[in-house]
Amino acid sequence: DAKTTQPTSMDCAEGRAANLPCNHSTISGNEYVYWYRQIHSQGPQYIIHGLKNNETNEMASLIITEDRKSSTLILPHATLRDTAVYYCIVRVANSGTYKYIFGTGTRLKVLA
Amino acid sequence: NAGVMQNPRHLVRRRGQEARLRCSPMKGHSHVYWYRQLPEEGLKFMVYLQKENIIDESGMPKERFSAEFPKEGPSILRIQQVVRGDSAAYFCASSASANTYEQYFGPGTRLTVT
């Protein structure tokens, strides 16, 4: 069962910031939040992950609320090539092993 | 450094036949994960293997599905007596260790059962 909920779809104008929300209200204290994206049904591509603190890399920023029940992925300057399905994922720990629980994803369309 | 490789990329099988999907992890990775994606849905975890061992198969259907990751060669996901409901994209991912932060995904195998 998915541990995350995301809006089904979003549009964003090219060059503007895309803010993709995710709810994970049942997340446990040691479970990480990951974001991947899938372009044209290719294999998912890693974007960013975090536990408690906000994170930033060359692709995006991840803002996690203090209670960890939700997060937002920010693409600072969206381009047409960012059109994809974005998955917010909880990495679940079980007896020393880990697995990803994917949600249904947000289909982001970047408009020219 | 080659990424995760899967073959075939597309596979067509008639009902009742067997499907074999192969996954070669990234160089140096000994942990492999298989996921299934039905049309318009997210990926669903199936099984996690380390060399010669199945670590977590909680997402595998109880019948007809099996997976292996031998000491030499690729990981194999095997589906016996395929049915139309098995039509899906099957992705594998690999990681360097059990608790490494990132899984790297392959391009997927699209299975169509006619």
In chain A, count of helices (H) and strands (E)?
A: 0, 10
What CA–CA distance (Å, rounded) separates A61 from A63?
7
A1 has pLDDT over 70: no
A104 contacts B44? CB cut-off 8 A: no
A96 has pLDDT over 90: no
Residue A87's contacts (CB-CB under 8 Å, 6 or more residues apart) are A6, A35, A36, A37, A38, A44, A102, A103, A105, B42, B43
The answer for B 14-73 residues in CB contact with A (under 8 A) is 33, 35, 41-45, 48, 55-56, 59
Residue B93 pLDDT: 95
Residue B59 pLDDT: 92
What CA–CA distance (Å, rounded) separates A101 from A92?
7
| pLDDT > 90: percent of chain B | 79
Low-confidence ranges of chain B (pLDDT < 50): none
pLDDT in tens, A15-74: 999 999 999 998 888 889 999 999 988 999 999 999 998 999 999 999 999 999 999 999
Output A81 or A92, whichever has higher pLDDT.
Answer: A81
